[in-house]
């Protein structure tokens, strides 16, 4: 039941925050900035609380220590990978920067994208991938959550089947691999935010079929849909799939070097050890219980003798 409780708690906070952001996004970029960051912070607190209560352990994947440099590193990776996509599009004549955009629009997008990055990473990497991996190993969990993440984006206004598949490969691969390599959620949150903010807040692109954004630069994209992504945005570009796949490979190689990949066999062995430990603990408690029962029965036979058992 822990997966259900964790999903419900984080999703409830995300839904409430999303409703508030949607109500203020068009009217006040500064309020969107504040509400978005507040929503992200509340989602993190809710995740830490529900995981601690349901799993009875320190929630090290969102530990405050080291969070800032991990977030910064992840954000740089996200911006850099998206920048490579834009560079390829521009070099091939499919992308053009026309001038300056809106600074206040970009500020509002910081809050909006922070809330989206945090809540989606908590749900898909913090809850679903982490718990599925415990039972199936890294590869099955990675594939399953990638499919779920792609399908989740089919609900967006201008979503396409190809766009959802591209997101499954790009984010389902790159962001999950970032978690596997580091075993914390700060780096994938940073990568997710950096990618989304670069797309919307810097280059004013459509993000996952959610419509146009007003960022720091005025840009236009034109050309074959398979190359530019069309109405779905650059995430539907073959260049995005290529560069995110390369980033995924880099993170997975780092994870392998650190010994962070979990095989299905190891999962089975760990579960068998836990069950054996629980049975052994039960057997060790049984004789003590019987001795206590025996003493109680003996005391009951001597009605006049004072009891020495604690009341």
Residues 106-133: pLDDT tens digits? 999 999 999 999 999 999 999 999 999 9
Q: What is the pLDDT of residues 254-292, one digit of tens each?
A: 999 999 999 988 888 887 887 777 677 666 555 554 444
Going by C-alpha positions, the residue among 246, 254, 132, 274 that lies closest to residue 183 is 254
Position 20 confidence tier, pLDDT thresholds 50, 70, 90: confident
Say if residue 157 is exposed, middle or buried (CB neighbours under 10 Å; 0-12, 13-18, 19+).
exposed
Count of Cβ atoms closer than 10 Å to residue 71 Cβ: 20
Q: Strand 95-100 relative to strand 217-221: parallel, antiparallel, unpaired?
A: antiparallel
Question: For the chain, what percent of residues have pLDDT higher than 70?
Answer: 89
User: If pLDDT is split at 50, 70 and 90, which confidence band does 306 have?
Assistant: very low
Most confident of 67-71, 99-103, 268-272: 67-71
In the predicted structure, residue 301 carries a pLDDT above the cut 50: no
Q: Quote the pLDDT of residue 295.
A: 47
Burial class (CB in 10 A: 0-12, 13-18, 19+), 254: middle
pLDDT of res. 310: 37
Q: What is the pLDDT of residue 311?
A: 30
Specify the pLDDT at position 283. 65
Q: pTM of the full predicted structure?
A: 0.87
Q: Which residue has the tokens 């796949």?
A: 245
**Pair 121, 192: CB distance under 8 Å:** yes
What is the predicted pLDDT for the residue at 308? Answer: 31
**Structure-block tokens of residue 117:** 């990055």
Quick check: 274 and 135 in contact, CB under 8 A?
no
Is it the case that residue 299 has pLDDT exceeding 70?
A: no
Structure tokens at 250: 């880099």
Average pLDDT over residues 50-55: 95
Q: Say how far apart CA 70 and CA 103 lie, in whole Å.
A: 26
Between the alpha carbon of residue 180 and those of residues 31, 116, 152, 248, 262, the distances in Å are 35, 20, 21, 10, 9
């Amino acid at each position: 039941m822990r997966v259900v409780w964790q999903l419900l708690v984080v999703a409830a906070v995300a839904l409430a925050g999303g409703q508030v952001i949607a109500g203020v996004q068009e009217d006040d970029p500064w309020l969107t900035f504040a509400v978005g960051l507040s929503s992200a912070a509340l989602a993190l607190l809710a995740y830490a609380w529900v995981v601690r209560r349901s799993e009875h352990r320190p929630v090290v994947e969102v530990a405050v220590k080291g969070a800032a440099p991990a977030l910064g590193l992840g954000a740089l990776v996200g911006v850099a990978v998206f920048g490579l996509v834009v560079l390829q599009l521009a070099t091939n004549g499919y992308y053009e920067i026309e001038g300056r955009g809106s600074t206040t629009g970009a500020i509002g997008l910081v809050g909006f994208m922070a809330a989206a990055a945090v809540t989606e990473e908590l749900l898909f990497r913090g809850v679903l991938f982490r718990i599925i991996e415990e039972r199936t190993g890294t590869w099955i969990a990675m594939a399953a959550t990638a499919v779920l993440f792609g399908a989740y984006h089919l609900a967006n206004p201008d979503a396409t089947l190809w766009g959802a598949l591209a997101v499954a490969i790009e984010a389902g691969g790159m962001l999950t691999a970032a978690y596997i390599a580091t075993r914390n959620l700060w780096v994938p949150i940073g990568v997710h935010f950096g990618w989304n903010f670069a797309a919307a807040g810097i280059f004013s692109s459509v993000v996952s079929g959610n419509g146009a954004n007003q960022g720091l630069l005025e840009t236009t994209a034109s050309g074959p849909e398979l190359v530019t992504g069309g109405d779905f945005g650059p995430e539907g570009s073959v260049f995005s799939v290529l560069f995110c796949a390369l980033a995924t490979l880099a993170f997975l190689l780092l994870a392998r070097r650190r010994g962070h990949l979990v095989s299905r066999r190891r999962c089975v062995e760990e579960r068998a050890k836990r069950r054996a430990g629980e049975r052994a603990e039960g057997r060790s408690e049984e004789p003590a219980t019987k001795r206590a029962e025996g003493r109680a029965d003996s005391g009951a036979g001597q009605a006049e003798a004072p009891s020495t058992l604690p009341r």
